Every structure is written in C-alpha cells, then in structure tokens.
Structure 1
Amino acid sequence: MAIHLKDRLRDIRDFLRSHRHERQATTAAGKHFSDMEKLLGRAASMVDDTLTLAETASRTVLPGAQKHELVLWPLGDYFSDPNAGEHAFRRHMYRAAKILAATLESAGPPVIRETGFTAAHEALRRRQGHMVLALKNATEHEAKRALIAGMLAHLVQDICRSALSDPAASPSTQDAKAGILVFAPGLLASALIGFDESLPASDLLDIATMAISARRDRMARSLAADQPIADLTAVFESLLTHLP
C-alpha cells in the first residue's frame, strides 16, 4: 500500500506541475482566467508546493536519504533476503531509471513505478526461484554468467511490459526502445558488480548504458519476439562475457 501510495502521489505531483506550466503559458499568451479558474490554480500550486516540501524533507530526515551517490548491489544480493532485498532493489533501480530517463532526448521517458520493480522482483523470486538458488550455489564464472543473464532477461521483460502497459502511459511514452534504455542499464550494472567490484556503480552504469544503447533495437525486437527470454538471455550473456 505504501509503495502504491508513493506512485500515486508522484502522479499527482507531475499532473499539478504540468497544470502550472500550462497555466503559466496561457497567462503569457494573454488569456484571462475566471475567479474559479484562479482559485483552482492557487489550490494546484499549494498542493504542488506541499508535495515538493514533503519530498525535500524526506530526503533530509530519512536514514540514508542524504546520500546522493548511486548505490547498486550485485544482482544476486537482491534475492538473498526477500524483504531487505526487495526494498533495496526497487529503491536502487528506481533511482537508476530516473537518472537514465533524464538523459533521453528523442522519445519521452516511460512510466517509472516503484511498484513495477517490486512486482518484477517478486515474480522472479516466485517463478524462477530455482535460478536464484542455483546462482547462490554456483562457483564457476560461466555458470554464474548464464544464470544472471537469464535473471536479467526475466526482469527486463517484466519491468518493460509493466511500464508499457501502464494506464498512465501515453502513446509517446509507449516506446520499447526507450524502456530498454531506461530500465536495462541499471540491471546490467548491478550484474557487472557481481563480477568486478573495483569500479564504482556510476562508472558501471555508464558502461552498461553505452552497451545497452548499442543493442536497444535488437532488445526491443526481442521483447516482441516469440521467445523473448531466450533472445534477451543471449544478449545479456554476450554482454556479461565482454564487459566491463
């Protein structure tokens, strides 16, 4: 319930900010508002300011909220403890996705929900629990790469499909390539940490972003293919073999 509420509050905040921008543009064009429209505009501004203040306060008060550097765990660590792992997974991947969404130029960013990351984490743990267990017991790099590639394929598919089918998604944001660019690099960077912890998370995210960007067309086609998991697994296994 708390995660859904956070996502809904973000929707309200984004809507109100959009309303304020549209209202400012109309005012600049010389249109006169009625008293009721002015009252609604003030109410929207007050709610927007309140939500902004609450967001700023939470970053200051909550433990660890003052840390602005990107934090990622090795992918397997997110599934070693169902509760703490799920919490860290959605927080870390949400932060990485927001960073990447801000860099998009041509296409609009997809809908980013914490609930989407939570659902993907739970689905992998419930449906592919054997992969998580096998990864925990794997000792050879080749075996680990194959398992992690499969986990990445399932996560990317679930997260992207959730974002693309979200009721709030407009036609301009229902772009599979944009979804791949926003959601896949954070997951890949997390997987790379499991093989090399010498590089900071921000550097691995940059490396993963460039690698995914070069393969976004193929990965977008894979999402719509008859065997998306097999296709995406092959892409991720190749990336894990040659990166960083």
Structure 2
Amino acid sequence: MLRQISEDVRVNLKDRLREVREIIRQSRHDGSGDASILREATSYLPPFPGKGIEGLLSHAASAVDEALSIAEAFVPHERPIKVDGTTVKGLGTYFPVGNEDRQLDAERLFRRDMYYLTKAVLAGLNIDNARIHEADFAAVHATMRKRHGDLLAALAAPGAGLQAIAAACSALLVECLSQRPVRFAETVSETPAVVGSSAPDISCLAPLALACGLATAGSDGAPDPDMLEIAILAADIRHDRIVQACAKANPVAELTPVFATLLAHLP
C-alpha cells in the first residue's frame, strides 16, 4: 500500500513538473511560445524601467530551460529509445496475472508506454496543443483491473481469440475516454468527459487501444515498426463508427465488433 501511494505521488509530481516545463518553454525569448502567457502573468505589475519586465522574464525562462535541458542529459530516463510500433506491448504484458510487485511493474510500463505513444500519435495527427497526464493512464490501468477483470482473464485463457482481444481493447478505450489522459488547449471543462462526447479524444486514444490489440494478436511474431501508424490510419478510417459506438449505452459491447473487424483485417 505504501509503495502504491509513493508511486502515485511520484507520477502526479512528474505531470506537474512537465506542465511547468512546458510553460517555461512557451515563455522563451527566442522561441515560438505564446507571448500572451507572460503578458497575462505580468499585467498586474507596474511599468518596469529599462528593457521591460516581460523581456527580462522571457530571457530568464530561456536560461532556466537551458539549465533544465543540461540537467536532463545527466539523469537516466525510462523513455524508449525510439517510439514506434515496436514500443507497443500486448495486453497480457500490461495486465499480467501475478502478485502486487508484478502488477506495479506492469502499471509503470503501461503508463510510460502510453505517455510516449500518445505523444507520437499527437504528432502524427499534427496536434501540438495538448497536455498528457501520466497519472490518468495509471488510473486507467487500475480501473481496467477493477472493472474489467473478466475481460483480462479471458485474454489469459487458452485459445483466446480476436473477440476476447477486441473486447479488452474496447474496455481500454472506454476507460481512457473516461479518465481523459489527454487535455487539449481548447478544452474548458476539467471534469471527466462523457464517453462519446469528444471526437479529438477518440482520434487520439482509439489508435492506442487498437495498437495494443494488434500487439496482443501478433504476440507470437516480431513487432512491426509500422503498427502504430497503421493503427492511426485504421482508427481514422473508422472514426465515425467508433464515435457512434462510444455514444451508446453499452459502449464496450458496441465497440467490440468494430475492433474485432479491424483486428481481423489489419496485418
């Protein structure tokens, strides 16, 4: 229990530090960040003599950003060397059967992979105004184990087929949409989204669930570097159908045949 609490604190701290770092980067004097951030932060201050407080703060932000970049070079990271289809693991890896230590290790791997895979998906969709919360992916992992243990157990059963994989992928997407690990700049509400209400969320998160399903279905072979890109394209083609399924009373049941069809026809 104490280990889990410590892990939760660490993940939330990482999210907050990432947000601070993003604000610093947006405030650099030599960058393309939004200057309105600094103007808003200093609007209540009296006029500053000389160069101006906004210019001084932007140069200070640049210095802090460069110092943090240097510090990062000396700190070991858990990030993947390259983020592509080979980064995705099967659902059996993310949700294994085992003791608490094994579950915690799997949860850590899941949220790390999902964080970097989400960044890759956002880049593929040309979206650069979103924030990713690793803590929300941790919540997705916990909710999957709590609410959908039967679907995860079916994956581990001998002879589990595409239908079982599709059902687990559907549950994963539904829980991701509920926790909203990706927050877009134009999003005003901070409350959990109603499933099916946000097309941008679905565009970003559906490829992740599909990629996990593809990795699960192809666990016996070598991972395909193009699998993530394939998942992005396939989810985009079936976007309207996925949105419709998410809006139903039982989205997991409605999504399962959609994912089953995609898994059956994709390499």
Which TM-score band (shorter chain)?
A: 0.7 to 0.9
Question: Judging changes above 3 Å, is the alpha-carbon distance between structure 1 residues 49 and 40 closer, same or farther for their aligned structure 2 residues?
Answer: same
Report the counterpart of residue 246 of structure 2 in structure 1.
223
**Cα distance in 2 between the residues matched to 1:157 and 1:84:** 23
The answer (yes or no) to whether the contact 1:75–1:191 under 8 Å persists in 2 is yes
The answer (yes or no) to whether the contact 2:234–2:262 under 8 Å persists in 1 is yes
Find 2:173's aligned residue among 120, 132, 156: 156
Find 1:111's aligned residue among 121, 128, 131: 131
1:22 aligns with 2:49: no
**Cα distance in 2 between the residues matched to 1:165 and 1:194:** 24
Give CA deviations for 1:179-231 in whole Å, capped at 9, x if unaligned.
22322223322221222243534221122111101011222233333222222
Find 2:63's aligned residue among 32, 40, 46: 46
Q: How much identity, in percent, do the aligned residues show?
A: 32
Amino acid at match of 1:22: D
**Cα distance in 1 between the residues matched to 2:105 and 2:259:** 26
Question: Judging changes above 3 Å, is the alpha-carbon distance between structure 1 residues 40 and 199 closer, same or farther for their aligned structure 2 residues?
Answer: same
Amino acid at match of 1:75: L
The answer (yes or no) to whether the contact 1:96–1:186 under 8 Å persists in 2 is yes
Amino acid at match of 1:53: I
1:182 aligns with 2:196: no
Q: Looking at secondary structure, tell me which structure has more helix per residue.
A: 1
Structure 1 gap ranges (5+):
27-31
The answer (yes or no) to whether the contact 1:181–1:213 under 8 Å persists in 2 is yes
1:67 aligns with 2:84: no
1:242 aligns with 2:256: no
Report the counterpart of residue 203 of structure 1 in structure 2.
226
Give CA deviations for 1:130-174 in whole Å, capped at 9, x if unaligned.
222222123142xxx2222222122212222322895x7533999
**Cα distance in 1 between the residues matched to 2:17 and 2:181:** 20
Secondary structure of residue in 1 paired with 2:107: helix
Alignment RMSD = 3.2
TM-superposed CA distance for 1:102, in Å, is 0.9
**Cα distance in 2 between the residues matched to 1:33 and 1:203:** 54
**Cα distance in 2 between the residues matched to 1:164 and 1:123:** 13
Find 1:77's aligned residue among 61, 74, 93: 93
Amino acid at match of 2:259: F
1:128 aligns with 2:140: no
Question: Judging changes above 3 Å, is the alpha-carbon distance between structure 1 residues 95 and 229 closer, same or farther for their aligned structure 2 residues?
Answer: same
Structure 2 gap ranges (5+):
1-8, 39-48, 97-101
Amino acid at match of 1:151: A
Secondary structure of residue in 2 paired with 1:111: strand
Find 1:101's aligned residue among 122, 131, 135: 122
Secondary structure of residue in 1 paired with 2:66: helix
